[in-house]
């Protein structure tokens, strides 16, 4: 399948109502068809892994084309340079999170990018650092605790960023780490408690929201079972 053929299929699935629905959730893109993620993923499964097609789809700049690129890309062929290039193109939280949650966290460059992107000024590149950290925390069962404990410093350093999508990404990462096991739960709880007492409004929001999640009986029970 060519990129043009894939886009034609996506466009037929789209609607103005779909575009309006995206906007209500803060998903704004220069060009979008209004296709559901479910339909995009279904097409991705139909196509299968295709590194060359993924690159061409991403370059179209069409929101749905870029999400489809994520679903057909082969994580084994993703390069560090490609990750940087795609991150610079992020237009909204949805293309950012989809790339991190469904692709970037499966590459050997994930931890390197978490560190690098956490220092970037661009809102969605910086969000990507923490969306990727949250994705790794949720999916990677082999990495020991040490990198996640070290990542608490990145979380605290970025917690005073008042931009909505950055602080929500930081919050997501903190909660995801706390869900891994008892040791990381205790570390996340301590970090959230410190942030909740911060002079920064953003840090206080992150800390208080993370605390509300971490002390829920469901979360505590889940963590206890992982001991």
pLDDT tens for 189-207 read 999 999 999 999 999 999 9
Give the single-character DSSP code of 14: -
DSSP string across 132-190: HHHHHHHH-SSS-HHHHHHHHHHHHHHTT---HHHHHHHHHHHHHHHTT-HHHHHHHHH
Going from N- to C-terminal start, the domains of the chain cover 1-77, 81-227
Positive or negative, the CA dihedral 185, 155, 97, 28 is positive
- One of 1.20.81, 1.10.3470, 2.70.98, 1.25.10 is the CATH number of 81-227, namely 1.25.10
CB within 8 Å of 135: residues ≥ 6 apart: 100, 101, 104, 105, 110, 176
Radius of gyration in angstroms for the set of CA atoms belonging to the chain, rounded to a whole number = 18
pLDDT at 226: 84
Give the single-character DSSP code of 192: H
| Tens of pLDDT, residue by residue, the chain (227 residues) | 999 999 999 999 999 999 999 999 999 999 999 999 999 999 999 999 999 999 999 999 999 999 999 999 999 999 999 999 999 999 999 999 999 999 999 999 999 999 999 999 999 999 999 999 999 999 999 999 999 999 999 999 999 999 999 999 999 999 999 999 999 999 999 999 999 999 999 999 999 999 999 999 999 999 998 87
pTM to 2 decimal places:
0.96
CB within 8 Å of 217: residues ≥ 6 apart: none
Could you tell me where the DSSP H helices lie in the chain?
Answer: 3-13, 16-24, 37-47, 51-59, 63-72, 80-89, 93-102, 110-117, 123-139, 145-158, 164-178, 182-196, 201-214, 217-225
**C-alpha span between 192 and 205 (Å, rounded):** 10
């Amino acid at each position: 399948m060519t990129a043009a053929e894939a886009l034609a299929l996506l466009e037929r699935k789209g609607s103005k109502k779909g575009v309006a629905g995206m906007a209500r959730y803060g998903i704004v893109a220069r060009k979008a068809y209004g296709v559901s993620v479910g339909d995009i993923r279904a097409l991705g499964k139909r196509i299968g892994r295709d590194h060359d097609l993924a690159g061409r789809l991403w370059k179209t700049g069409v929101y749905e084309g870029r999400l489809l690129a994520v679903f057909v890309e082969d994580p084994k062929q993703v390069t560090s340079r490609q990750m940087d290039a795609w991150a610079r193109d992020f237009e909204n939280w949805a293309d950012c999170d989809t790339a991190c949650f469904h692709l970037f966290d499966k590459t050997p460059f994930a931890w390197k990018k978490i560190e690098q992107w956490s220092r970037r000024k661009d809102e969605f590149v910086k969000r990507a650092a923490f969306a990727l950290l949250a994705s790794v925390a949720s999916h990677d069962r082999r990495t020991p605790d040490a990198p996640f404990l070290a990542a608490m410093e990145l979380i605290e350093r970025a917690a005073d960023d008042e931009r909505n999508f950055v602080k929500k990404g930081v919050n997501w990462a903190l909660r995801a780490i706390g869900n891994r096991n008892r040791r990381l739960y205790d570390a996340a709880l301590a970090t959230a408690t410190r942030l909740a007492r911060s002079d920064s409004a953003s840090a206080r929001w992150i800390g208080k929201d993370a605390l509300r999640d971490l002390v829920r009986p469901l979360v505590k029970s889940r963590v206890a079972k992982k001991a």
